[in-house]
Amino acid sequence: MTIPVLLDCDPGHDDVFAIWLAAGHPEIDLRAITTVGGNGTLAHTTHNARVVCSLAGITGVPIAAGADHPLVRALNPAAHIHGANALGGPRLPEPTLDTDPRPALELIRDTLDAATEPVVVIATGPLTNIALFLRSFPDRTGKIREIVWMGGSTGRGNATPYAEFNSWADPEAAAAVVAAGLPFTMVGLNVTHQVLATAEVLERIAAIGNRTSAFGVELLRFFNSTYEVAEGMPAAPLHDPVTVALTAVPGLVQTVHTRLDVELTGTETAGATSVDLHGTLRRPPNAHVATNVDVAAFWRLLEDAIRTLN
């Protein structure tokens, strides 16, 4: 049995590889893609999703646009990392796929309603769409098996010293989704920084030899260049597809069941994820939090998925 998945994303270089892994892994049944403002404006993230699905030959997966700004804050795209169009580097081909006429919340609802078993919602951007959906359709929560989110960190951040970008971009949404009581897994920087797009990785992806791999290498070269300037990392961490790997292959990513809270008001800490690994606060566990990843297995998984695409 394959795992039905809805992917909510803000492409974004690393979101692209999450899309490709979800579409190319045999254990994942990618039912829908929804987009949100985050790494770029909603217009750019939606266009980018159409581009990378068209290029890779991913068809039959509806793409719908969602929230163009966070719940209560202004949108602050990560242009210094992803470029002005959120997918800097290669020349983007014109997409052949259109967006679905339904807004994202309706597509999420319809995808859940059509499923004969609960759906895993993988979110690789700010959690705005998911928070809005849970608020708008509380009667559909039983159709969600789990929410797996790339966001947060058990340690330091990247948007601020304490907050990871997806959590910092819309902390109110992150807090609301965590508080909803659904099964929730956080894949944070402490794990995704183990998965680095080194020169060897780029060579292996290039050797796949299809159109998708060539485009992916261009993306990673740009991504590496911006990370080197911004964070002194010549090999960028490929955050988002770790969520898909966790969903597809049990055990590839190790997690602990612990307490997770999202800071909302601190001058320096808004968006920080408080992960109580040692039970200091004596609050009941409410989330699974990723702690480690099998790096070699992850890259093999991603390469195998890209081989299945155009």
Provide the annotated active-site residues.
239
Decide if 170 contacts 126 (C-beta within 8 A): yes
Decide if 107 contacts 150 (C-beta within 8 A): no
- What whole-number distance in Å separates Cα of residue 21 and Cα of residue 162? 29
What is the number of residues in the chain? Answer: 310
φ, ψ (nearest 5 deg) of residue 196: -110, 135
